[in-house]
Amino acid sequence: MKITILGCGGSFGSPLAWNRHGNIDLNNKRNFRTRSSILVEEQNNCILIDTSPDLRQQLYDAKCTNIDAVLYTHEHSDHTSGLPDMRAMSLINQKIIPAYMPEEMILKMETFYKYIFKGEKDYLPFMKIKKIEDSFSFQGTNIETFKHNHGSIDVQTYKFGKFAYSTDLKKFYNNDINKLKNLDLWIVGLLREDPHPAHAGFDQVMEFVNYIKPKKTVFTHMTALLDENLLKEKCPNNVIPGYDGMIIDL
């Protein structure tokens, strides 16, 4: 399995704007982060998790010209609003691409992006909506998913064997955290150091890490308040901040 971090920034990206660079060292390219999304390549499938507003450039930079399926974590626009850029992937490969999402997203996505899923006037549909199950398979790739809390809404954690992706995480429900034991890799959202109403802070994320003990943990969804090297100094060697373009082979 090959995992590419296309983007690891929070909803504003990092830096926030010109001359608004929080705590980051501008001389370190890894502190420049586009909005969060990843590619998972396994068994000839190329699966994209979330369509960030930076999708076109992310796919270009990753030299990616084919997406077999999209999985959505949740409806927030930093995870969905690049969806129209999927039109190029459909055109190049002459196929209608499935978009897997939780039930509560379906009506909103269908309504907001009608031309994409249903077609409109001269536009033919180029994607189709699929509802996720707790455990499902896409062309031989097995995927498990469950909901975690993100403040006022829920987000899907996705798990592919010993790899799991949990962005925009505030807390887990019931004993769901136990589903993440024995991971080789956990990519987890860390917005900033202090807790946010919808995101766990550094101490809480490290509590999760220390409980499930993944072999390797990589942070994503970081604001410009988190500098790569300063964050590294606070973490054990197997817990590291991600960066745009990072590739992990499992």
Tell me which residues touch Zn ion (CB under 5 A): 11, 76, 78, 168
Residue closer to Zn ion by CB (options 42, 222) is 222
Residue closer to Zn ion by CB (options 11, 45) is 11
Q: What is the closest distance, in whole angstroms, from the C-beta atom of residue 19 to Zn ion in the complex?
A: 24
Residue closer to Zn ion by CB (options 154, 168) is 168
Is 80:101 a contact under the CB 8 Å cutoff? Answer: no
User: Cα–Cα distance between 77 and 74 in angstroms, integer?
Assistant: 9
Q: What is the closest distance, in whole angstroms, from the C-beta atom of residue 74 to Zn ion in the complex?
A: 6
Q: What is the amino acid identity at position 152?
A: S
User: Cα–Cα distance between 158 and 162 in angstroms, integer?
Assistant: 11
Longest Cα–Cα distance of the chain, Å, equals 55
Q: What is the amino acid identity at position 229?
A: N
Across 107-192, where does the E strand assignment appear?
A: 127-131, 135-138, 141-150, 153-160, 163-166, 185-189
Q: What is the closest distance, in whole angstroms, from the C-beta atom of residue 171 to Zn ion in the complex?
A: 14
Residue closer to Zn ion by CB (options 23, 149) is 149
Which residues are 38's β-sheet partners?
A: 5, 49
Residue closer to Zn ion by CB (options 68, 242) is 242
Distances (CA, A) of 105 to 16, 53, 213: 28, 18, 32
Q: Which residue in the shown chain puts its C-beta closest to Zn ion?
A: 76
Q: What is the closest distance, in whole angstroms, from the C-beta atom of residue 114 to Zn ion in the complex?
A: 23
Q: What is the closest distance, in whole angstroms, from the C-beta atom of residue 216 to Zn ion in the complex?
A: 22
Residue closer to Zn ion by CB (options 22, 125) is 22
Q: What is the closest distance, in whole angstroms, from the C-beta atom of residue 58 to Zn ion in the complex?
A: 15
Q: Give the length of the chain.
A: 250
Residue closer to Zn ion by CB (options 69, 190) is 190
User: Cα–Cα distance between 131 and 178 in angstroms, integer?
Assistant: 24
Q: Can you spell out the DSSP letters for 192-245? A: -SS-BTTB--HHHHHHHHHHH--SEEEEESB-TT--HHHHHHHS-TTEEE--TT
